[in-house]
Amino acid sequence: MEIRNLIFIGDIHGELRELVWNATSKYELSNSDLVVLGDFGVGFDKGFDNLYARVAPKLEKADLHIYTLRGNHDDPSWFDGSKEGLYPRVSFLQDHHVYEIAGKKCYIIGGAGSTDISWRLKEKKKVWWEDEYVKELPIKDLPGKVDIILSHEAPLAFEPVISRFSETPEWQYEKILAGRTYLSQVLQEITTEYWYYGHYHNHFSGSYGQVIYRGLGIMEFYEHH
Residue 117 belongs to a domain with what CATH number? Answer: 3.60.21.10
Q: Please, what is the end-to-end C-alpha distance for the chain in angstroms?
A: 17
pLDDT at 124: 75
Contacts (Cβ under 8 Å, ≥6 apart) of 69? 35, 36, 37, 38, 79, 93, 95, 108, 109, 110, 150, 151, 152
| pLDDT for position 71 | 98
Average pLDDT for consecutive 10-residue bins of the chain (225 residues)?
91 97 98 98 90 98 98 97 97 98 98 93 85 97 98 97 91 97 98 98 97 98 97
pLDDT digits (tens, 9 = 90+) for 6-62: 999 999 999 999 999 999 999 999 999 999 999 999 998 878 999 999 999 999 999
Q: What is the pLDDT of residue 1?
A: 61
Domain housing 51: 5-224
pTM > 0.85: yes
Q: How many domains does the chain have?
A: 1
